[in-house]
Amino acid sequence: MRRMAAFFASTWLAAAILYLGRHSVPMMALSGVVVFAGLDLFRPDRASAEGAQARDGGKQR
């Protein structure tokens, strides 16, 4: 749930940066960084991915 909240906050923060930046190139770049940071926080952690791989018997997808 915390990851979803972080994703929600980062996307709205990026939208606010774009709105307040008034088409400024540095602000567009900053909003992209904020969005990708939120997506990185939203990504499942490595421990749960390793646990899922162990349950599948170590098969590669």
Q: Please state the domain extents for the chain.
A: 2-42
pTM value > 0.75: no
User: CB of 18 within 8 A of CB of 28?
Assistant: yes
14, 35 contact by CB (below 8 A): yes
What integer pLDDT is reported at residue 22 of this predicted model?
83
DSSP letter (8 states) at residue 56: T
pLDDT single digits (tens) 6-47: 788 888 998 998 898 887 899 889 988 888 887 777 776 665
